[in-house]
Structure 1
Amino acid sequence: MPDVLQERAGVTVLVCDPAGPPLATTEAALDLIGAAFAGAEVVAVPAQRFDPDFFSLGTRFAGEIMQKFVNYRLRLAVVGDISAHLAASGALRALVAESNRHDHIWFVPDLVALDARLAAVH
């Protein structure tokens, strides 16, 4: 499945292919942001597409990626099971909890949970 624009809970979402290229550089994030300019308000990226450095906060990679989405006024949804990463890092647990309290960056287990979040803020 290629990355596709979908209407989800009244919001246009770029749903990224789980088998797509890894998100391992800020340039890769900018490519997704560019693709989202076709009309998406949210970019839903499967968790497995993120380089492991994204979940290791000491690398600052997550902050760089998240800041790019905020700067371009796009919401980012990290979709999938990240429980192993959460178990290994208290700092990541705090980041996820704080991000999920706001409207720009969300960590959700699946697209159904994303739909619920979108419906709640739309």
Structure 2
Amino acid sequence: MGDISYDDFLKVDVRVGTITRAEPYPEARKPAIKLWIDFGGDIGEKKSSAQITAHYTIETLIGTQVMAVVNFPPRQIGRFMSEVLVLGFPDANGEVVLARPDQTVPIGGRLH
């Protein structure tokens, strides 16, 4: 990948939100969970489909803070409209580990 400018970085709006609801998504091609995430303020609650079933359960996700890109256009994932991209890193087996703050922070905060 090539270098980007600071202005390029500022175009990506990464915010912290709290998962308020989670449901299995058995219709997805790969195992996934439907998430509803509260970003507060002007952003409000947004939906996302995340392939995070290897490390997370519905019960453990509620109340968890996560980081997500909130300024991508919505994307249809099967019958579910995903409005934000939840961020994570692959573990040694390629399974997603969520990117999240190590302390509770106010929802809607922007990554900088």
Task: Give me the TM-score of the superposition, normalised by structure 1.
Answer: 0.24
Greater relative contact order, per chain length (Cα 8 Å cut-off, separation 6+)? 2
More helix by share: 1
Select the structure of larger CA radius of gyration.
Answer: 2
Task: Give me the TM-score of the superposition, normalised by structure 2.
Answer: 0.25
